[in-house]
Structure 1
């Protein structure tokens, strides 16, 4: 078992001897979502690094930080490959539900596609609090998890051939578009995502270079930290408190181990 496999299992609390199968992915995805935060602190602190397998492993598994979609899904993809899954990466475009249009920064979302028994599934560990926590088939079938309902609909657009949709538990009454993605242009070399990091770090319209954001799921909801507030969802009830720089650091350590 190589270093990535050992370190990843240790980070999320899975035995080195446990066999990872398609049937046990639900548990692995839930543990990942509750352990490794979605966060942009490297972007905010202007301490980015080249997107390589070695650097992603060091950042998330050795330094025990989190990351954005191109880091989190790259790492999980590598973990799947090490455990003999037929997986690859794809790029997509996130939908801005408030503005009612797709974001204008290009295909800056990274997701995972996995083939099992001839069927292709979407797997995502890098979409903030919107994680399905289960593989979602590219058939339109609705998948239900502790985080809500999720589906992937085939729809040809200039941005790809499928759309990922969600209805988050306690938060959404109707289906919302998450992102469009292209299943035909698959990626196996994560260094391609250097372009995504550059845009996210430098583009004036990027939402991730303005303020710090750290979030992860919990057993009963999720926790989200910014430079001005801490929000905790427990069984559908949110509690939001204002914070200052001192409490930001203490919350970062207490709730995210960073």
Structure 2
């Protein structure tokens, strides 16, 4: 409350709970934030409705590239344990997609560009995945533990299948025989809300309201290499002085 008003009307004016200019401005900001959160909730509701529209058959089916996955080898499929390994393969099988049937990618070797076949492996689940897949005691005997480093430099325990020779890769056309049911009114409303948030840059403000940050700071917490930490111990001028001294002594 402004002190001038208290001096003019006395302390009785405090009982009316009049808001100051700063409080009114803060309430306007809070009200706008609530409106953004309501729009976000509306978007989530519309996306959920779109996911629940279901599928409809695509006539005629179309081919979109190729897919590659593991199958049982011929001698394993003809053996007595074919059912056991088929059930095991369903849990650790992986599928890869490509526009080219040979699944080759371009790489550089000794200055020349060559084409090599893209590598594909069986699933190596981590601890929580291994528990979630529900392997039986007999199936667990075909796995061994191995510590691996991920792309961020962290170590994690992986469970590797010990007999990958039982499975081979096969390539088949990737056929699309169904498509999602679309609702034009639903799509139009989603697009209008998203354009309103994007054009006015309210999407960053909304992300900050939801998560407490706009997301760009997360990249600072990736582990850094030892070389970067070593070179940051000294400034550039110190490194240049040391290089000059080494050249003089040489």
TM superposition score category, shorter chain reference: under 0.3
Higher helix proportion (structure 1 or 2): 2
Relative contact order higher in (CA < 8 Å, ≥ 6 apart): 2
So what's the TM-score if we normalise by structure 1? 0.21
Work out which of the two has the higher radius of gyration on C-alpha atoms and give 1 or 2. 2
